[in-house]
């Protein structure tokens, strides 16, 4: 991944652009699925930075997605009528960035208490933050209260989704493979040893939360402009669990595995839609079976860490 990562990023954006140019010829349904897959990849890879690489068990990723989604959707809803048609792509790019940035600020506020908390306590606090964010959107009239936002312009295309996905993978992969980024793995493996080596666990944890939340916010913005309706209910704790399952299934701290898991878990429900009533039962059995048989993740071929993740 590290060698020529920039070339990979460039190639991925080019492919996305090429496929997007031809998207008029594709079945709209499959196109929608491809966008869903891209959004799942962004969410799973960004959570993998927090959960997998840094070892901070977070259950609030859907909350960051909601922050980014609602911020960006509100921005385009307000500005789209006054901005000329030609400037819409720029507006969308701006809303993606703003959505990501506001989510990153939310990530900072969640990251700060994580200085003192660990393990289960951190998990419950992140879960709590996610729920608080949902309640705020559910009550706030500005964001449409319980009905949420509707009539969001359809700006999300295959190109945008897969470009952001490629960017996420690039940033996370080159970050953890950099000299600086080894600190994330160090904090994951042993916090005490990390601080003894002059690595500040606090700084790395907060950095992981901020970067992870930024991309989750972008994913939320893409999602909002893809589905065109945004309901606070859709960002509850179950959504966070879904993303966590992708990370676990792919293998914690294994970017390629996590991408494959995100693809699988997004496409599988659609393939199983004929037996919809058994689908979720199968999903839960899959989680249990996987944990019993392959706890290191389905796609983790080399086992990096023999030690327990998120120990203490």
Partner 1 sequence: MDWLQQLINGLALGSIYALIALGYTMVYGVLRFINFAHSDVLMLGAFAAFFLAPVVGTIFPAQSYLGAAVIVIIAAAICAAIGMLIELLAYRPLRNRPKLTVLITAIGVSLFIEYTCQHKAVFGARTRPFPKLIPDHNFHIGGIVIGNHDIVVPVVTALLLALLWLIVQRTKIGMAMRAVSFNPQAAALMGVNINRIISFTFGLGSALAAVAGILYAMKSPGIEPLMGIQPGLRAFIAAVLGGIGNLPGAALGGLLLGLLETIAGGIPGISNYRDGIAFAILILILLFRPAGLLGEVKTEKV
Q: Binders of partner 1 among 9-48, rule CB under 8 A? A: none
Distance, first Cα to last Cα, the chain: 31
Site for partner 1 (CB under 8 A): which residue of 120, 150, 203, 275? 120
- How many Å apart are CA 207 and CA 148, to the nearest integer? 30
Please give the angle made by the CA atoms of 145, 148 and 154, to the nearest 5 degrees: 155
- How many Å apart are CA 38 and CA 219, to the nearest integer? 9
Site for partner 1 (CB under 8 A): which residue of 11, 291, 301, 303? 291
Binding status of residue 131 toward partner 1 by CB under 8 A? yes
Task: Give Dmax (Cα) for the chain.
Answer: 58
Site for partner 1 (CB under 8 A): which residue of 22, 82, 86, 192? 192
Binding status of residue 272 toward partner 1 by CB under 8 A? no
The residue count for binding partner 1 (CB under 8 A) is: 46
Site for partner 1 (CB under 8 A): which residue of 147, 287, 301, 303? 287
Q: Which stretch binds partner 1 (CB under 8 A): 24-32, 90-98, 197-205, 277-285?
A: 277-285
Site for partner 1 (CB under 8 A): which residue of 96, 169, 221, 244? 244
Binding status of residue 285 toward partner 1 by CB under 8 A? yes
CB of 209 to partner 1, least distance (A): 15
Site string for partner 1, 45-64 (x = CB under 8 A): ------------x-------
- How many Å apart are CA 144 and CA 108, to the nearest integer? 26
- How many Å apart are CA 210 and CA 208, to the nearest integer? 6
Binding status of residue 150 toward partner 1 by CB under 8 A? no
User: 3-state DSSP call for residue 230?
Assistant: strand
Binding status of residue 281 toward partner 1 by CB under 8 A? yes
- How many Å apart are CA 221 and CA 307, to the nearest integer? 37
* Alpha carbon 19 to chain centroid, angstroms: 23
Binding status of residue 284 toward partner 1 by CB under 8 A? yes
Binding status of residue 241 toward partner 1 by CB under 8 A? yes
HSE of 203 in the Cβ direction (CA atoms, 13 Å)? Answer: 9
- How many Å apart are CA 241 and CA 265, to the nearest integer? 12
- How many Å apart are CA 143 and CA 122, to the nearest integer? 28
Contact residues for partner 1, defined by CB under 8 A: 57, 113, 116-117, 119-121, 123-125, 127-129, 131-132, 135-136, 138-139, 191-193, 237, 241, 244-245, 248, 252, 277-278, 280-281, 283-288, 291-292, 295, 308-312
């Amino acid at each position: 991944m590290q060698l020529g990562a920039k070339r990979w990023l460039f190639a991925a954006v080019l492919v996305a652009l090429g496929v997007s140019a031809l998207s008029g010829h594709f079945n709209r349904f499959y196109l929608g699925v491809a966008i869903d897959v891209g959004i799942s990849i962004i969410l799973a890879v960004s959570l993998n930075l927090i959960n997998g690489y840094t070892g901070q068990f977070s259950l609030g990723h859907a909350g960051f997605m909601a922050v980014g989604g609602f911020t960006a959707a509100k921005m385009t809803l307000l500005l789209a009528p006054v901005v000329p048609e030609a400037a819409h792509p720029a507006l969308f790019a701006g809303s993606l960035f703003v959505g990501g940035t506001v989510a990153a600020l939310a990530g900072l506020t969640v990251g700060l208490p994580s200085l003192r908390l660990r393990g289960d306590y951190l998990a419950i606090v992140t879960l709590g933050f996610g729920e608080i964010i949902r309640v705020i959107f559910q009550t706030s009239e500005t964001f449409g209260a319980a009905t949420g936002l509707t009539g969001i312009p359809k700006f999300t295309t295959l190109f945008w989704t897969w470009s952001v996905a490629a960017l996420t993978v690039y940033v996370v992969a080159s970050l953890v493979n950099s000299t600086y980024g080894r600190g994330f793995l160090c904090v994951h493996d042993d916090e005490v040893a990390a601080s003894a080596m002059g690595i500040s666990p606090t700084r790395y944890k907060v950095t992981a939360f901020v970067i992870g939340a930024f991309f989750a916010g972008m994913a939320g913005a893409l999602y909002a402009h893809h589905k065109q309706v945004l309901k606070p209910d859709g960002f509850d704790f179950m959504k966070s669990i879904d993303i966590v399952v992708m990370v676990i299934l792919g293998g914690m701290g294994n970017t390629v595995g996590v991408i494959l898991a995100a693809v699988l878990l997004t496409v599988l429900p659609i393939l199983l839609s004929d037996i919809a009533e058994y689908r979720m039962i199968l999903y839960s059995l899959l989680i249990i079976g996987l944990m019993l048989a392959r706890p290191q993740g389905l796609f983790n071929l080399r086992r990096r860490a023999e030690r327990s993740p998120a120990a203490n």
